[in-house]
Structure formats: C-alpha cells, structure tokens
Amino acid sequence: MGRVSEAHFEGKEVARVCLAAALKEAKQIEAILTLEKIDYFVELENLLTGTGMLATSPAQGVAFYVTTGQAEFCKELLVEAVFRQTVVDD
C-alpha cells in the first residue's frame, strides 16, 4: 500500500525504522517501502547536523514508522539499499 496516515496504525504497535536527514533520501526510502507494499507513516523530527562534537546545527529530518512486526524487515531492506546511516535502533 505505502504511505498512510498515522490513524491507520491506531491500536497497533509501531516502531521508528529510520530517520532521513535529506529530502532526497526520504523520497528514495518512500519509493523502497512503497515498492515493497509496506504501510508506513512519516513525521518530521528535530535532529542535529554536523559531525562528532560539532553536531550543533538544528535541522529537521523525516522519521519513518511501520508496525513492529515489519520493522526488522524494513531495516534490512534499507541497509541493502545503502541507507544504513538512516536506520535507527530504538
């Protein structure tokens, strides 16, 4: 199915699977999840950009949420598609 509203997941346990810092990444991740017919929703999330001790610039990223039952599969898909840096371990 692909992107749905957060209300679609009412009563279900969800997990954040990744956090895309760039719009280009977010669009590519959306395409992967949609192609695999995985229901997901997104939320804007605050993050810090930069590297190491210099990570001080505030920005927003796109967080992707799926049901907990699909979380590990989605993380594996994203790692295979070279989005390892976006995958989160919550």
Number of neighbouring beta carbons within 10 Å of residue 61: 22
What tens digit of pLDDT does each residue of 35-79 get? 999 999 999 988 766 666 665 667 789 999 999 999 999 999 999
Q: Report pTM.
A: 0.85
For 3, residues 6+ apart whose C-beta sits below 8 A from its C-beta are 30, 33, 34, 40, 41, 42
Higher pLDDT, 85 or 76: 76
Compute the 3-state secondary structure of the chain and give helix, strand, coil in percent, each to the nearest 5. Answer: 40, 35, 25
Which residue, chain included where needed, has tokens 């190491």? 52
The pLDDT assigned to 49 comes to: 64
Q: In angstroms, rounded to a whole number, what is the distance separating the alpha carbons of residues 33 and 50?
A: 27
Residue range 6-86 in CATH 3.30.70? yes
| Boundaries of every domain in the chain | 6-86
